[in-house]
Chains A and B, each alone.
Chain A
Amino acid sequence: MTDETDAATAGWFSDLQPGDLEAAADAITEGRAEAPREWPATAVEDGYADSRDDYYDRLHEATMAATRTAVRKRERADDQQLVHAIRAMDDCERTANELAERLAEWAGTVDPDAGTGVEYARRLASGDEDGLEEPAIRSLAERVAGLADEADELREFVERQTPAVAPNLSALADPVLAARLISLAGGLEALAKKPSGTVQVLGAEDALFAHLRGHAPSPKHGIIYTHDAVRGTHPDERGSAARAVAGKLAIAARVDHYSGELKPELEAELAERIETIQARNAEDGDAATDGGTDDE
């Protein structure tokens, strides 16, 4: 290369081989210039394009590729933010609860009326609890309250961000459950690629390990069972409800990942399906099959 192009006066196409689309897209995304210039004319002069029309064809191709890549990258980054936030939220909650137990045990040795739980820690920390002077205990209570506050703030963050990353999932499940599913799958794209049967048992692995470690019952259900539509259904029909919810959530994740457009009909369809399932049990004694056929 003899004459290096001056960065301040270079267009996106300077130093590019025509036809190298990837490099062109990078140049669109990464490049900068102090001021605009007559780029179409310059590109033709430089031999990057044969004509203005040819230049615009290349520009279209390059901006499409650049924007497509940049959009994907940004969205991927956003779903990873959620994954970290929800995990941090769970860690804060769990740690606050564990420390609150420790605190209650300790406080109980100096104050027979000591309470329990995070709420007790909050009261202690804010000084609303008299009869407990030990500064070390009060200080621990402050940590517990702080962690609990942090968990609340993280929950608010998740509630705010999830609808932007996954509008349909957030509409069908609540944003926190939506973020949990994304986190369990490892990201929105990974979730979008899971069949609904897998979505239905996501989270059951954790319960399975807890079970194996001996402090939880054998898991039958993924976290989908915390969905209102499943919890609100009679136990006999919960399996059907969970299948219906998992099916729609799997579709919602795909729409969120591939188009990102809000499709209100998904929510309506799920509501209708759940209503049918719940009606089965209401008509007590009806031949309620588990197969999922809607009997009219």
Chain B
Amino acid sequence: MSELPTGVERRAFDGTERLATRGEPVYGEPTDGEWRAWNPNRSKLGAMLELGMDTGLAGGETVLYLGAASGTTVSHVADFAGPTYAVEFAARPARDLLEAAESRDRLFPLLKDARKPESYAHVVESDVDVIVQDVATRGQARVALENRQFLADDGRLLLAVKARSEDVTRAPEDVFEDVRAELEEGYEVVETERLERYHTDHLGIVARPL
């Protein structure tokens, strides 16, 4: 089991050990003083940490987060990481994302399309340490490849693949196989794990840029 990043701890909430970070609550999660529980059922990155995947996260890194939605996960990331760029292309969830970013001065919300990196390359810095991607849309491997340009050579991609977003009719295993093959055009896959316990038909991938 790999170590948790600094700023993420296991703490007891109502007698249950749960992952937690320090920050303003965002989605009605239980709190304990400054700490807020990180619900792995609502967060693929939370699930990857719960499952002990080797994310390589240490705390304090610069992060590009793709598919931030209303900020559930990216708020936890901003709690323990450094500068965090949050890209989301739907207006409605972005509204909630703004609220999560209000109290987090190193969380930068961007209403942009992750398939068009040129529309935010004038804002997001080069050589980020980590890309977290959870876009749940078709062409998830493509999105990761197109955003590879932001990642430092020794950086990591933490990717959650949703099988149903690619093709509802195919078996998830086959979809994952294809996504992985395409991803290998630009990344070396370090670890994969099904997130089944928390998210149906999702695959967690840790990868390094080639």
Contact = CB atoms under 8 A, between A and B. Distances in A.
A60 B108 contact: yes
B98 A68 contact: yes
A39 B118 CA distance: 14
Interface in B83-100: 83, 91-92, 94-98
B127 to A, nearest CB: 7
Interface of A: 10-12, 27-29, 31-40, 56-57, 59-60, 63-64, 66-68, 70-71, 74-75, 78, 164, 259-261
B111 A70 contact: yes
Contacts of A11: 122-123
12 contacts: A10-B122, A11-B122, A27-B122, A38-B127, A39-B122, A59-B108, A60-B106, A66-B111, A67-B109, A74-B111, A75-B92, A260-B92
Contacts of A34: 118, 121
Nearest to A164: B92
Contacts of B119: 32
A68 B108 CA distance: 12
B34 interface: no
B124 interface: yes
Contact of A28 (B96, B106, B110, B121): B110
A12 B85 CA distance: 14
A59 B126 CA distance: 15
Given A63-B109, A259-B95, A12 B123 contact: yes
B150 interface: yes
B164 to A, nearest CB: 19
A67 B122 contact: no
A68 B95 CA distance: 7
Contact of A74 (B91, B117, B125): B91
A127 to B, nearest CB: 36
B157 interface: no
Given A60-B105, A71-B111, A260 B95 contact: yes
Nearest to A39: B125
Given A11-B123, A71-B91, A33 B118 contact: yes
Nearest to A167: B92
B95 A33 contact: no
Given A60-B105, A71-B95, A260-B95, A36 B126 contact: yes
A181 B149 CA distance: 47
A31 B105 contact: no
Given A56-B105, A63-B108, A28 B123 contact: yes
B125 A63 contact: no
A164 B106 CA distance: 30
